[in-house]
Amino acid sequence: MIFGGKLRNKIFLTMALVSIVPIFIAAFLSLYSIDTSHRADVANLEGALISQKYAEIKNFLDGITGMLQLRFEFEEDKDVLDLAAKKSLLKLLLKENQPLEEVAFVNLEGQETVRFNRFNMEGVPKEELRNQSQSEKFLVAKSGRDYTGPVHYTLKGPIMPVASPSRNKNGVVVTVITGEVNLRNIQKIIETSKLGESGYLYLFDHDGFLIGGGGNFKSEAVLSSLKDIGVARAVLRGSDFLGAEGQQRYRNFFGDMVIAAAKFMPEYKWGLVAEWPTKEADAVVRDLLYKNLIVSFSVVVAVILISILLATLIVRPVRKLEDGTELVAKGKFDQPVIIKTGDELEELGAAFNRMMAGLKQLQELKDEFVFIAAHELRTPVAAMKGYLSLILDGIAGPITEKTKDFIQKVVKANQRLIQLVNDLLEVSRSEAGRLTIKVAPVDIVEPIKTVLQELRPLADEKSIKMSYEPPPGLPRVLADADRVKEIMVNLVGNAIKYTLGASEVLVSHDIQGGYLLTYVKDGGIGISKEAQKRLFEKFYRVPDEKIKGITGTGLGLFIVKELVLKMNGKVGVSSEEGKGSIFAFSLPIAQ
Ligand code: ADP
C-alpha cells in the first residue's frame, strides 16, 4: 500500500470493498437495463417506419390497380364498349394517373383492343397491338384478381406491370385493363424516409434488385442484386426481422455497422429493410455509458479518498497510543496521550494516561526509596571504612597477619559497597533532575591527569601502561571539572577493569565542529555489537563469561551518559570483541 499501517489498510480495503462493489453492480445493472430498453426503442422505431412505409406503398399500388378496375353499366356478358369510348377512357386514366406509363384494353380472348402510352396519347397503331392471351397478367386479371408483376428497370425508372379485371353491372368480368406503373413515387417514399439523421430504408424486388433506397443506397448506384446479403436473402424467403427479438446487427452493403429491421411484402414478393448506423443509433447509449462511467469513477475516487481519510482517522489514535507505550517503555511517564475523538478511543486514551500517571507515581516512589536507602547507607559504610582503616593501622591494638588478611577483604567489599551506594545516589539524583552541574570554561587536561594519577595503582597492579599526551594549546570546554573527573574515573576505570592481560590504555583528543572529543582506548576484552546497543542502559552488564569475576553495578556508563548529555555533549563506543574498545565523549568548546 501507498500508506503504511496494516490496520489502516485493512479498514481501507474493507470500506472500499463494501462500497465500490455495489457501485459497480449498480452501474452494470443500470447500463444493462438502458441497453435493453434502447434496443427495444430502436427496434420499435424501425418497425414503426417499416409498417408505415409498407402501408404507403400498398396504398399507392392499390390506388392504381383500383383505378384500372372499371365497372360498366351494361348487363351484357361481353365487352360492348366502342373504340372511341375506350380511347377516351384510357386517355383519362393516363391523364389522371401520372405513374401510369401505359394502359391497354385486352378482350377476353387476350387480344389488345386499344393501347395508349405517354409517347402516344392517341393510341398505338393497330398493327402494334399485342396478343396477351398467354401472359400471366392477362390470365390473373381475367380470373377476377388484380395482378402486380415483376419490376423491370428502365431509364424512366422501375416499371411494374399491373392488370385488373373490369366488370359489367352484374360483376361479371367482361374485359381486362393492363398497364405499366412507374414506381418513382415508391422510390420517393423510400428515399425520404429517415431514422434520426443517418438511418434509412431500402426496398428490393424478389430478385434482390434495388427498387429504391435512402442513405448510400440513394447516392451510390447499386446495380448488383442484394439477394446474397444475409438479411435480404432471409427476407426474400419470407422472414421478418421485427421487434427487439428480430433486431439485427451487421455490416451493411457499404461496410458500416448498422442495426436493422426488415419485412417481407408478400403481395409483391419485395423486401423492405430499415438500417440505422450504430454510430448514431447507439450514440445515446454511448453517451449514457460515458456519463455512467464518469459518475461511477468519481464516486469510486471519492470513496477511496473518504476510506483513506476515515482509516487514517481511526488509526491515528491507535498510533498515538503506540507512541505512548514506546515512551512508557523508555521510562518517560510525563507525556500524556492526547486523543480527541469523542468515542471509546478517547476513553482508552484517558485510561492509558491514568495508567501512565500510576506508573509515574510508582517510579517516583521507587526512586525515592532507592535514594533514601542509598543515602542512609552512606554514613554506616563510611563509618565502617574509617574503623576498618583504624584497625588495620593497629590503633585498636595489634592484629595477627591472618586477621589483617581478612580485614583487607572486608575493606575491599566495603569499597564496592561504597561505590554502589554512590552510583545509586548519582542515578537517583539524575532521575530526579537533582544532578548539580556547574558549567564553566575549563581546561580539561588537568582533571584528566588527576584521574589517571589516581587510577595508576590499579593499572600497575595489572601491568597496564597508561599514556596521555595532550597536544599543547587545547581549547577550553564548557563543562563541570568535577563531573569530567567522574566521567574519566568511569571510563578509564572500565578500561583497566575489562583488560585481562598486560596492555595499554590510551587517552587522546580530537576537535570536531565546535566540540572537543576525548577518547579512552583500551586493548581489553571488547564488546559485541549486540551489547554495544544497550551499554548505556541502567544496570546493564554484558552477559559474558569473561567478566563473571569482575565486580560492577552496570550503572557507571549510564551515569557517564547522563553527565555528558547534561553538559550538552554526546557519548559513543566502538569496539571489537577480543581486540579492545574505544569510548568517546564530546564537550562543547568554550568561545
Ligand atoms: P560496570 O559497573 O559493570 O562496569 P558500566 O556501566 O560501567 O558498569 O559498564 C557496563 C558494562 O559494559 C560492563 O559490565 C561491561 O560488561 C561493559 N564494559 C564497559 N566498559 C568496557 C570496556 N572498556 N571494555 C569491555 N567492556 C566494557
Kindly report the backbone phi and psi dihedral angles of residue 588, in degrees, each rounded to the nearest multiple of 5, phi listed first: -65, 140
The three-class DSSP label of residue 512 is strand
The three-class DSSP label of residue 237 is coil
Q: Which of 147, 58, 158 is nearest to 99 (CA)?
A: 158
Q: Would you mind telling me the total number of residues written for the chain in this entry? A: 591
pLDDT score for 452? 96
End-to-end alpha carbon distance in the chain: 51
**Residue that is written with C-alpha cell 581549547 in the block:** 475
pLDDT score for 357? 93
Our mutation pick for probing the ligand 1 site, out of 505, 520, 529, 535, counting the most ligand atoms within 8 A of Cβ, is 535
Tell me the C-alpha distance between 284 and 410, whole Å.
Answer: 104
The three-class DSSP label of residue 120 is strand
Angle at 174 between CA 172 and CA 177, to 5 degrees: 120
Note whether 585 and 570 are within 8 A (CB). yes
Measured from the Cα of 525, ligand 1's closest atom is 25
Tell me the C-alpha distance between 332 and 218, whole Å.
Answer: 92
Please write the tens of the pLDDT for every residue from 254-308. Answer: 889 999 999 999 999 999 999 999 988 888 778 888 888 898 889 889 988 988 8
Our mutation pick for probing the ligand 1 site, out of 504, 541, 585, counting the most ligand atoms within 8 A of Cβ, is 541
For residues 159-178, give the mean pLDDT. 94
pLDDT score for 2? 43
Angle at 84 between CA 81 and CA 90, to 5 degrees: 85
Nearest CA to ligand 1 atom 19: 494
pLDDT score for 1? 38
Q: Which of 60, 66, 150, 138 is nearest to 99 (CA)?
A: 60
Cell readout for 309 is: 481519510
* Structure-model confidence comparison of residues 444 and 222, the more confident one: 444
Count Cβ atoms within 10 A of the Cβ of residue 549 and give its class: 0-12 exposed, 13-18 middle, 19 or more buried: exposed
According to DSSP, the β-strands at 173-182 and 100-106 are antiparallel
Note whether 258 and 252 are within 8 A (CB). yes
Tell me the C-alpha distance between 175 and 486, whole Å.
Answer: 146
Cell readout for 242 is: 421485427
For residues 363-391, give the mean pLDDT. 90
The three-class DSSP label of residue 466 is strand
- Ligand 1 contact, 584 CB (< 6 A): no
Nearest CA to ligand 1 atom 20: 494
Note whether 406 and 392 are within 8 A (CB). no
Tell me the C-alpha distance between 574 and 580, whole Å.
Answer: 9
- Ligand 1 contact, 499 CB (< 6 A): no
Tell me the C-alpha distance between 287 and 469, whole Å.
Answer: 89
For residues 147-170, give the mean pLDDT. 93
pLDDT score for 427? 87
How many Å lie between the centroid of ligand 1 and the Cα of residue 541? 6
pLDDT tops 90 at residue 21: no
pLDDT tops 50 at residue 16: yes
Place 38 in a pLDDT band, splitting at 50, 70 and 90. confident
For residues 457-485, give the mean pLDDT. 95
Tell me the C-alpha distance between 444 and 470, whole Å.
Answer: 10
Of the listed ranges 210-219, 461-470, 488-497, the least confidently predicted one is: 210-219
For residues 334-353, give the mean pLDDT. 91
Arch. (CATH architecture) of 69-182: 2-Layer Sandwich (3.30)
Note whether 47 and 243 are within 8 A (CB). yes
Arch. (CATH architecture) of 440-588: 2-Layer Sandwich (3.30)
Measured from the Cα of 423, ligand 1's closest atom is 2
H or E segment to which residue 157 belongs: strand 157-167
- Ligand 1 contact, 546 CB (< 6 A): no
Q: Which amino acid is at 209?
A: F
Tell me the C-alpha distance between 193 and 316, whole Å.
Answer: 68
- Helices of type H across 126-215: 136-142, 184-191
Cell readout for 195 is: 431514422
- Ligand 1 contact, 206 CB (< 6 A): no
Place 40 in a pLDDT band, splitting at 50, 70 and 90. confident
pLDDT above 90 coverage of the chain, percent? 62
How many Å lie between the centroid of ligand 1 and the Cα of residue 552? 8
Q: How far is CA 159 from the centre of its chain?
A: 66
Tell me the C-alpha distance between 62 and 136, whole Å.
Answer: 19
Tell me the C-alpha distance between 25 and 11, whole Å.
Answer: 22
pLDDT score for 145? 93
- Ligand 1 contact, 185 CB (< 6 A): no
Please write the tens of the pLDDT for every residue from 394-406. Answer: 998 999 999 999 9
The per-residue pLDDT of the chain, averaged, comes to 91
How many Å lie between the centroid of ligand 1 and the Cα of residue 421? 18
Our mutation pick for probing the ligand 1 site, out of 464, 498, 538, 560, counting the most ligand atoms within 8 A of Cβ, is 498
Tell me the C-alpha distance between 387 and 136, whole Å.
Answer: 156
Please write the tens of the pLDDT for every residue from 53-85. Answer: 999 999 999 999 999 999 988 888 888 888 899
Note whether 420 and 454 are within 8 A (CB). no
Measured from the Cα of 552, ligand 1's closest atom is 2
- Ligand 1 contact, 494 CB (< 6 A): yes
Tell me the C-alpha distance between 503 and 523, whole Å.
Answer: 6
Place 492 in a pLDDT band, splitting at 50, 70 and 90. very high
- Ligand 1 contact, 553 CB (< 6 A): yes
